[in-house]
């Protein structure tokens, strides 16, 4: 595999933020039209972002208690179910009563329990893990190539684009993007660690996050 195994917690800074701020500084009326034009230019960019990142018209979502798994075809759910080899703890199972959508659950029995159980496990290992988190969105992509395409959407203006083969976490969207081809409980636990650490206040730096994320892989697989 040529891709580097890495997962990147992207900065919360909006890549377009400098443009927006630059626009704010222009006070004269003469530049009003050009400001309008630059705002208009952002609209197609925004649409591309929505279409590529969320695949809004095509993707289906499988809701678990704490996550939203976005997938394209039923087989994606089944593939995820097969790839995540993980047994939730007794303690977790005793307090878990979530009922997933019956049709989706029939496709991938136990996937909701495994996904939530894994998030619970990662949180229980992380010291100071916050109790209330937003929904974690999980996007199931085909392979390494698709993961890198999505990563480019989140960091389009970098001279040396980051690469992330198995998956990455995008803090702006509380979303994890993973390659189904390379998925394992360890990979998902790694990205879940980035997600949980991004909820800390203050958010730990990247090196600290990466150490925890890599440690977490060894606690799951």
Contact set with Zn ion (CB under 5 A) = 7, 210, 213
Closer CB to Zn ion, 104 or 198, in the complex: 198
Closest contact distance (angstroms) between CB of 211 and Zn ion is: 9
Question: Which residue's beta carbon is nearest to the bound Zn ion?
Answer: 7
Closer CB to Zn ion, 66 or 215, in the complex: 215
Closest contact distance (angstroms) between CB of 125 and Zn ion is: 15
Closer CB to Zn ion, 76 or 210, in the complex: 210
Q: How far apart are CA 219 and CA 91, in angstroms?
A: 17
DSSP codes of every residue in 189-216: HHHHHHHHHTTSSSPPPHHHHHHHHHHH
Closest contact distance (angstroms) between CB of 118 and Zn ion is: 16
Closest contact distance (angstroms) between CB of 3 and Zn ion is: 14
* Cβ(180)–Cβ(141) below 8 Å: yes
Closer CB to Zn ion, 113 or 148, in the complex: 148
Which residues are CB-neighbours of 129 under 8 A, at least 6 positions away? 122, 123, 196
Q: How far apart are CA 133 and CA 146, in angstroms?
A: 27
Closer CB to Zn ion, 171 or 213, in the complex: 213
**Dihedral sign of CA atoms 148, 70, 194, 5 in order:** negative
The secondary structure element, H or E, covering residue 67 is: strand 67-71
Residue positions counted in the chain = 221
Closest contact distance (angstroms) between CB of 191 and Zn ion is: 7
């Amino acid at each position: 595999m040529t891709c580097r195994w890495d997962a990147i917690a992207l900065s919360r800074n909006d890549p377009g933020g400098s443009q927006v701020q630059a626009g704010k500084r222009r006070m004269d009326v003469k530049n009003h039209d050009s400001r309008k034009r630059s705002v208009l230019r952002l609209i197609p960019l925004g649409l591309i972002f929505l279409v590529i990142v969320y695949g809004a018209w095509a993707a289906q979502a499988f809701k678990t208690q704490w996550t939203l798994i976005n997938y394209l075809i039923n087989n994606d759910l089944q593939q995820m179910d097969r790839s995540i080899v993980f047994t939730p703890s007794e303690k977790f199972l005793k307090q878990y009563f979530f009922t997933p959508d019956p049709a989706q659950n029939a496709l991938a029995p136990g996937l909701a329990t495994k996904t939530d159980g894994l998030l619970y496990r990662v949180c229980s290992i992380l010291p100071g893990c916050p109790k209330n988190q937003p929904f974690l969105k999980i996007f199931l992509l085909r392979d390494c190539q698709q993961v890198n395409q999505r990563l480019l959407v989140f960091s389009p203006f970098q001279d040396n684009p980051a690469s992330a083969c198995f998956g990455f976490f995008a803090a702006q969207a509380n979303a994890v993007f993973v390659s189904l081809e390379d998925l394992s409980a360890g990979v998902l636990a790694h990205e879940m660690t980035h997600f949980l650490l991004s909820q800390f206040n203050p958010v730990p730096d990247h090196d600290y996050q990466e150490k925890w994320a890599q440690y977490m892989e060894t606690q799951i697989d």
